[in-house]
Structure formats: C-alpha cells, structure tokens
C-alpha cells in the first residue's frame, strides 16, 4: 500500500522519513519544494498537490500548523477530499476538537475515515520514533493505522469519536505551556537571588519541582542559550487558544489558564511567533534584568 504524507515541516519531515526507513512506499507534498526534494532524495515520490497525493495513496497522513490550513489541505479545491483513492486520513496536527469533528463528518460523506491522531514529543521524538500519539477512531480503523503509527511512537487509543485525540493533546500542551512559563519565572527569581542556574536545575530535578521544562527544555535549550528546541512560540499560543475555546465550550473555568495564556500571548507579540518557545524565559529576564545561563561548561541533568 502506497502511503501519502502532506506537511513536511519540523515534525512532518522526520515522521515521513521514519516511514520511508521502515520500507513503506511514500508520496509526499508540501508548499516548500525544498522539503519535498529532501524526501524524494531518500526515495519518496513527489505530488504537485494534496489532491494528487490522495489520487495515489489509500492512506494519507498530514502534519500541518493551523486548523485553517488543515481545512484547506483536506477540503479545499485541490485538497485531499478531491482525490479518488484515499480511504483513511490520519491527522497528526493539533486542530482542536471542532475542526476534527467537522473534517471527519465531511470526509465520512465521501467514504473516507478520519483518524484524529495528534502527537507530542517534539522534533526529537519525531526523529527517534518516541512520540506519544493520541488516537481517536473506531476499532477497525485503529487496526489499519496502528502498525504504521508504531513506527512514529507509542499509540494511545483515547476513544472512538473524532475530537477526543485533540482534547487529549490540548490538555497535554496546556500543562507543558504552564510548566515552561512558571519554570521561567522561578529560574529568573532564583538567578537574581544569587543561585547558580545549573545547580537549581539539578536540585529541581531531584525534588518535587521537577517537570518537563526542568528535565528537558531548560538543560537542552535555555541554559546553553541555544533556544532551539524546535517548537514555535506562535504555535504554543495557538494551542492555548484552542484549549481556551474547548474549556469555554465545556464550561470549565480557567483561572490559572487565563494567566498562562496571557503570558504566552505577550511572548508571541514581543519575541515573535516564529521564535522558539523556550525563548519565553527571555520575556521574564527582560522584566527582571537578569539572564538564566550556565557558564560552567557542563550540562545540567
């Protein structure tokens, strides 16, 4: 079975590469010709449009940045729904539950099953095949897609209805965003008080303050001042907007969430939406007049 892949960005390209490495035939499309060329050099076939991908592949995976782009790529005039061969769409993007449900309903009328399957684990997880994949689809569709998704990471079947994968992903990203924002404030405070940043990270990771930011993001991208973790500030702001919309629809108040979202909105505005999301610490550093930096030459753990 020839597979299709649309969206060869920071996450899509390594995921598509893993499918190629696993021996699958793959036809790809992206708005960036260079991204397509890098995959065709590894053996993938190229398609001029998403519709052409869906004319050649029965199962298509997509990794796209926003709900609006997802709708256009799937349902637009030259989108996947215009293809004649596609029977399963695996949506790896973070779109929010309403988009997942509306796209699934539209595709169902065309005899295409939509698999809601957002991922978490960053570009490193995409390259290593260690992503967490939150899949919502019927059991028969899961039997089709799970062997393929196993090349990308660990599959969690979170439900049968489209949108449940999105809900799980937004819960995950909200906690990730909150951890990074609060850790930035804590690390700036400790640094300004005179504590050594590397020592702080070591203590936090041995204690009850440990979280995803102290374990990974600060040691890897903040303390060495590389800010290269691979996820954009603007995308995190987008995910928090989707989380807030989901909360409003479910009538769940977000007391802490509102403050977290406001901080990320300011980070995107001041640092730029294309900045790496670990750069949010720079926002707090600017307010406090101090830098969180490891000058020891070692690596925090």
| Residues belonging to the active site | 169
CA terminus-to-terminus distance, the chain: 44
Q: Mapping DSSP to helix (H, G, I), strand (E, B) and coil, where does residue 119 land? A: strand
Q: φ and ψ at 116, to 5 degrees?
A: -80, 110
Left if phi > 0, otherwise alpha if psi is -120 to 50, otherwise beta: which for 26?
beta
Looking up tokens 């349902």 gives 75
**45-46 and 26-29 as β-strands: parallel, antiparallel, unpaired?**
parallel
3-state DSSP of 109-146: CCCCEEEECCEECHHHHHHHCCEEEEEECCHHHHHHHH
Q: Mapping DSSP to helix (H, G, I), strand (E, B) and coil, where does residue 25 land? A: coil
Rounded Cα gap, residues 242 and 150, in angstroms: 27
Looking up tokens 């590469």 gives 17
> The tokens of 46 are what?
């190229």
């Amino acid at each position: 079975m020839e597979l299709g892949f649309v969206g060869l960005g920071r996450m899509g390209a390594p995921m598509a590469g893993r499918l190629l490495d696993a021996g699958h035939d793959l036809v790809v499309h992206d708005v960036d010709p260079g991204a397509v060329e890098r995959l065709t050099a590894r053996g993938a076939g190229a398609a001029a449009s998403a519709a052409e991908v869906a004319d050649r592949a029965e199962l298509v995976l997509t990794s796209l940045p926003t709900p609006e782009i997802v709708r256009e790529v799937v349902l637009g005039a030259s989108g996947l729904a215009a293809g004649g061969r596609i029977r399963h769409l695996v949506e790896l993007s973070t779109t929010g539950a309403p988009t997942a449900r509306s796209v699934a309903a539209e595709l169902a009328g065309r005899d295409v099953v939509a698999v809601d399957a957002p991922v978490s684990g960053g570009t490193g997880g995409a390259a290593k095949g260690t992503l967490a994949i939150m899949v919502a689809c019927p059991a028969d569709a899961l039997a089709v897609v799970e062997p393929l998704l196993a090349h990308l990471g660990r599959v969690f079947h979170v439900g049968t209805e489209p949108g449940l994968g999105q809900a799980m992903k937004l819960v995950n990203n909200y906690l990730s965003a909150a951890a990074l924002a609060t850790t930035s404030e804590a690390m700036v405070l400790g640094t300004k008080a005179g504590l050594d940043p590397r020592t702080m990270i070591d203590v936090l990771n041995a204690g009850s303050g440990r979280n995803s930011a102290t374990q990974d993001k600060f040691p890897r991208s903040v303390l060495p001042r590389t800010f290269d973790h691979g996820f954009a500030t603007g995308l995190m702001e987008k995910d928090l907007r989707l989380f807030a919309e989901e909360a409003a629809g479910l009538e769940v108040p977000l007391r802490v969430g509102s403050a977290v979202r406001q901080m990320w909105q300011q980070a995107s505005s001041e640092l730029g939406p294309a900045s790496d999301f670990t750069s949010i610490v720079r926002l707090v550093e600017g307010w406090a007049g101090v830098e969180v930096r490891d000058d020891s030459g070692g690596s925090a753990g």
